Amino acid sequence: MYVCNCNGIRERDVRAAIAAGATKPVHVFKAHDTQAQCARCVCEIRQMLAERRESLKYAAE
């Protein structure tokens, strides 16, 4: 599934960038040598980042 249609970034690409250390949407775009165009995807990327932080929080317990 595409998260960012403007840049052709898929969900798996976002998750890979997050796993590699991305902590902000801008980091995800930089990982793919792109930048936000219309920014419709930024909310979804933020949600994916929050899910990752939440899962790491529980893993640390």
Residue in the block written with tokens 């995807």: 41
**What's the pLDDT at 60?**
66
Contacts 24+ apart (CB under 8 A), 7-15: 7/32, 7/34, 7/35, 7/37, 9/34, 9/41, 11/48, 14/45, 14/48, 15/48
* Helix, strand, coil shares, percent, the chain, to 5: 55, 10, 35
pTM, whole model, 2 decimals? 0.89
- Write the pLDDT tens digit of every residue in 1-60: 999 999 999 999 999 999 999 999 999 999 999 999 999 999 999 999 999 999 988 776
Domains and CATH numbers, the chain: 2-60 (1.10.10.1100)
C-alpha to C-alpha distance for 26 and 33, rounded to whole angstroms:
10
- Per-residue confidence (pLDDT) for residue 59, from 0 to 100: 74
